[in-house]
Amino acid sequence: MSKKPETVFSQRIKDLKKLNKDYYFQAIETSTSRGVGDIFTVILGQSYWLELKLIKAKKPTLNIGLSKYQIAWQTVLNKHGGHCFNLVRVPTQRVVKTYRHEASGLVELATHPDTQAGLCTALEHMAEIVRTSRS
């Protein structure tokens, strides 16, 4: 039985620990609190949450499939100085895109190749955003 594409994507992220011992990932599975991010992450000393999404459409839109609970949780977290980023895999384009849900709506931050190096660059870019927000 093959794994769901979302599960494979999540495992690819967690496997990056093998490449860089300074990466930390903790998958969060909760049925008590709707909307909480998928993975708590510490990259280069900066902590943030990741919500993972997979877009199967050939022409992705700005709708990345966030539920109203995910939008609410991310908005509140960001408002209080926390950080949650949406890492979206778009297999048809062979890219991963990063987004952040802000009070004004969803903002696309960057696009990277859908490779190990591209994922590392995306994660480190998000860590840099967190670091500079605290300066």
Q: Averaged over 39-53, what is the pLDDT?
A: 95
Residue 121 has which token pair? 């660059």
Q: Are the C-beta atoms of residues 123 and 41 closer than 8 Å to each other?
A: yes
Phi/psi at 124 (5° precision): -70, -30
Residue matched to tokens 């190990």: 116
pLDDT digits (tens, 9 = 90+) for 86-99: 999 999 899 999 99
Mean pLDDT score of the chain, rounded to an integer?
Answer: 89
| pTM tops 0.85 | yes
Task: Tell me the CATH number at 70.
Answer: 3.40.1350.10
CA distances from 103 to 11, 51, 107 (A): 30, 17, 10
What total number of domains does the chain contain? 1
Nearest residue to 62 via CA among 108, 94, 113, 122: 108
Residue matched to tokens 């100085």: 81
Domain residues for the domain of 43 are 5-133
Predicted local distance difference test score (pLDDT) of residue 59: 59
